[in-house]
Homo-oligomer: A and B are copies of this chain.
Amino acid sequence: MSQTTHGLHVVAQTPFQTDGAVDRASIATLSAFYYRHGARGLTVLGVSGEAQTLTPDEAVAVASCFVAASEGRAIFAGVSSPNLAILAEIAGQVMAEGARGVMIAPAASARTDEALFSYFDAVFSRIGDVPTVLQDFPAASGVQMSVPAMAKLVALFPQIRVIKEEDLPSARKVAALRKALPDHVQILTGNNGLYLPQELARGADGPMAGFSYPEMLSGVDKLMREDGNVAGAHALFNRYLPLLKHEAQGALGIALRKESMRRRGALATATMRAAGGTLDDADIAELDSIVAHMDLPT
């Protein structure tokens, strides 16, 4: 992570076989799909990668396969856990497998600034000098971090090189963090990319999000940050927004994303392990209707 981390980092799905086993073979195909559509790196083992349904051994194997298919690109592995021993063990193993770093959200018990600092002190005293993406996602972690607290975390723990920012309203927080944090700390944004044009306009360094059309995420990022083409970025974003929003529905959204990616050849099956991930006929008809009424490029 001597180089900067900017541009699209896709939050990757975990492919499963129809019987629920991890489909390691598909990870190369899936990775190629992400990179073909503009990903500069991946974040694996996130919530939308169904990490919470994998054993530690499975998790490490998944990370290992993504590293093998990365051709040197950055693979960050989500290792958040209420159990620090498990967190540290998986962190050590994925780094040994070649991950570029880990992603960590604070444990729910970190309910004050003091407790937050103590928590990461415990984390880093266990995992050592591992490049870390700090995930700021209160809706999932239960922990609200203020901008001053995050600035202090970054100052205390130089391992934190990237923020994955998804505290709502996120564009405002990106702007405040950009002011408060040193330049070498990158700010990537999540929330399924729902606020991407606004976040980039306020200083984000790219999306760290998932979508079945990742070329939109990388396209908007390029138009905004490299070409300065705001109108083009909005036009591209708005065209995909109906589906982007539809995929932002928790476990159902992940299921829809997997189905959409299956249709595009990125996944062999849309199978999910996570509860809520089975699509019925009405769900499929709904997806079809949304896609039919969007103005997608042909």
> Could you tell me if A198 and B286 are in contact, using CB atoms closer than 8 angstroms?
yes
Q: Does A249 lie within 8 Å of B122, measured CB to CB?
A: no
A23 at the interface (CB under 8 A from B): no
Q: Using a CB-CB cutoff of 8 Å, which residues 45-92 of chain A contact chain B? A: 52-56, 58, 82-86, 89
Given that A241-B242, A242-B234 are known contacts, is A111 also in contact with B144, CB under 8 Å in the complex? yes
Q: Is A113's CB under 8 angstroms from B234's CB?
A: no
Find out whether the CB atom of A172 lies under 8 angstroms from the CB atom of B283.
Answer: yes
Selected from B85, B144, B147, B245, the residue in CB contact (under 8 A) with A194 is: B245
Once the chains bind, are B250 and A168 in contact (CB under 8 Å)?
A: yes
| B85 & A82 in contact (Cβ 8 Å cutoff) | no
A124 to chain B, nearest CB (A): 15
Q: With a CB–CB cut-off of 8 A, which chain B residues contact A289? A: 197, 201, 230, 234
Q: Which residues of B contact A194 (CB under 8 A)?
A: 245
In the bound complex, how far is the Cα of B294 from the Cα of A198, in angstroms?
14
Which residues between 214 and 273 of chain A lie within 8 Å of chain B, taking CB atoms? 230-231, 234-235, 237-238, 241-242, 245-246, 249-250, 252-253, 273
A83 surroundings in chain B (CB, below 8 A): 52-55
Pairwise interchain contact B113-A113, C-beta atoms closer than 8 A: yes
In the bound assembly, the distance between CA atoms of A250 and B144 in angstroms comes to 15
A18 interface residue per 8 A CB criterion: no
Let me know if B58 and A148 touch, CB within 8 A. Answer: no
Mask, A270-287, CB within 8 Å of B = 1, is: 000101000000110010
Query: Which residues of chain B come closer than 8 Å to A111, judged between CB atoms?
Result: 111, 138, 144
Tell whether A146 is near chain B: CB-to-CB under 8 Å. Answer: yes
Residue from B53, B114, B286 in contact with A148 in the complex, judged by beta carbons closer than 8 Å: B114
* Closest Cβ neighbor of A57 among chain B residues: B89
- Of chain B, the residue at the smallest CB distance from A50 is B85
Q: Which B residues touch A175, using CB under 8 A? A: 282
A interface list, Cβ under 8 A from B:
52-56, 58, 82-86, 89, 109, 111-115, 118, 122, 138, 144-149, 168-169, 171-172, 175, 194, 197-198, 201-202, 230-231, 234-235, 237-238, 241-242, 245-246, 249-250, 252-253, 273, 275, 282-283, 286, 289-290, 293-295
Can you pick out 24 interface pairs between chain A and chain B where the beta carbons lie within 8 Å of each other? A53-B84, A53-B85, A55-B83, A55-B86, A56-B56, A56-B86, A85-B273, A109-B275, A112-B144, A113-B148, A115-B144, A168-B250, A169-B252, A172-B252, A172-B282, A172-B283, A198-B246, A201-B286, A201-B289, A230-B293, A234-B242, A235-B293, A237-B242, A241-B242
Please list the 4 inter-chain residue pairs (A to B) with the smallest Cβ-Cβ separation, ordered nearest first. A234-B293, A111-B144, A114-B146, A112-B146
